Amino acid sequence: MIHQMKSFFSLMKSLPDKKSCREFLEEQRWNGVPVCPHCGYIDEHHYKLTFFEEFNGLYKCRHCRKRSTVTSGTMFEGSNIPLDKWFYAIYLFLSHKKGISSLQLSRDIEVTQKTAWFILNRIRYNLMREGIGNHEGIVQVDETYIGGKSKGRFKFNRGRSMKQKIPVVGLLSDDKIHAYVVSNTKGSTLEFIIAGLVEDGTTVVTDSWGGYHYISDFGYTHEVVEHGIWKYVNERGFHTNGIEGFWSHLKRGLKGIYHSVRPKHLQMYCDEFAYRYNTRKMDDIQRFIQFLTKPSERVRYSELTCGFI
């Protein structure tokens, strides 16, 4: 049904009420056959519990006998916000290249700004980096500092010393990007990230920062680009232009909140921008459906940031 949908408008027209939204989510998440979130048992004959003879999506597992709905264990769980507003919010959030503010969203879906803020943060939590796989072939790795630059950015840099800037490490290969907030850019930190996310035998392209000096000891071919005036490509044609482009895109997006961004929030924004990059070849409907069908849950910050904060 979905893949024939030409637009989000026609999709939402086919989901006029609570029931149709819930059934749509069941179809997308379960392929129509209920899955118990407690024990994982899949059975089209899970008991349907009714309330005043009306079935509202509450199932009882035939195996573990626990109750659940299609929203149990997901980002929608325990929320009083109707699913159609969630759907609109997710679509708007994912399709706006530069993101959407809570004020704008509150107007678009007619909720308070506080509710809109809550919805946006739940969506952001679920833009997980997991599942896109490791890098191979050629990967560009670069580090940057968020919080203003030392030169020529007085407006954003006022009162902020180098110590207060937040380091971020990014990895980019052909079709995907990872961006991690880190506590420092020492060799041990960079090596830990690269070894965890890059397959053996990959060519790792970096600038001449000392933290990358021993990367070849980890089984990689290391290409160094010495950044000088008018020099962005090394003798063998390798460069880090892609990841640097991502940094400027991220920094432009963060411009309004540069001065106040904190590490845990910064990781969410890194995930948001990386997610958009990683799904850039999908159209807006595909991205929306993919987001609805991926496993979602309430994720702790510490899990999202791999303990770096």
8 A C-beta contact, residue 181 and residue 305: yes
8 A C-beta contact, residue 126 and residue 75: yes
Residue 299 CB, nearest approach to Zn ion (Å) = 22
Residue 184 CB, nearest approach to Zn ion (Å) = 45
- Nearest residue (CB) to Zn ion, 36 versus 116: 36
Residue 66 CB, nearest approach to Zn ion (Å) = 5
Q: Classify residue 9 as left (phi > 0), alpha (psi -120 to 50) or beta.
A: alpha
Please report, for residues 30, 74, 78, 91, 296, the alpha-carbon distance to residue 84 in angstroms, rounded to integers and kept in the order given.
Answer: 18, 16, 15, 11, 17
Burial 124-146 (b: 16+ CB within 10 A, else e): bbbbbbeebeebeebbbbbbbeb
- Residue of 297, 285, 299 whose CA lies nearest to 24: 285
The helix, strand and coil proportions of the chain, stated in percent and rounded to the nearest 5, come to 40, 20, 40
- Nearest residue (CB) to Zn ion, 63 versus 231: 63
Q: How many residues bind Zn ion (CB under 5 A)?
A: 7
Residue 261 CB, nearest approach to Zn ion (Å) = 42
195 interacts with Zn ion by CB under 5 A: no
- Nearest residue (CB) to Zn ion, 36 versus 119: 36
Residue 64 CB, nearest approach to Zn ion (Å) = 3
- Nearest residue (CB) to Zn ion, 61 versus 304: 61
- Nearest residue (CB) to Zn ion, 39 versus 195: 39
Fill in the per-residue mask, 210 to 249: x = in contact with Zn ion (CB under 5 A), - = not in contact.
Answer: ----------------------------------------
Q: Which of residues 102-131 bind Zn ion (CB under 5 A)?
A: none
β-strand partners of 169: 143, 180
Q: Which of residues 29-88 bind Zn ion (CB under 5 A)?
A: 36, 38-39, 41, 61, 63-64
Paired tokens of 176: 């995907």
- Nearest residue (CB) to Zn ion, 77 versus 108: 77
Q: Can you tell me the distance from the alpha carbon of 250 to that of 96, in angstroms, rounded to the nearest whole number?
A: 14
Q: Can you tell me the distance from the alpha carbon of 268 to that of 282, in angstroms, rounded to the nearest whole number?
A: 21
- Residue of 122, 92, 126 whose CA lies nearest to 107: 92
- Nearest residue (CB) to Zn ion, 37 versus 148: 37
Residue 60 CB, nearest approach to Zn ion (Å) = 9
Collect all residues with Cβ–Cβ distance below 8 Å to 95 and sequence separation of at least 6. 8, 284, 287, 288
Residue 43 CB, nearest approach to Zn ion (Å) = 9
The residues binding Zn ion (CB under 5 A) are 36, 38-39, 41, 61, 63-64
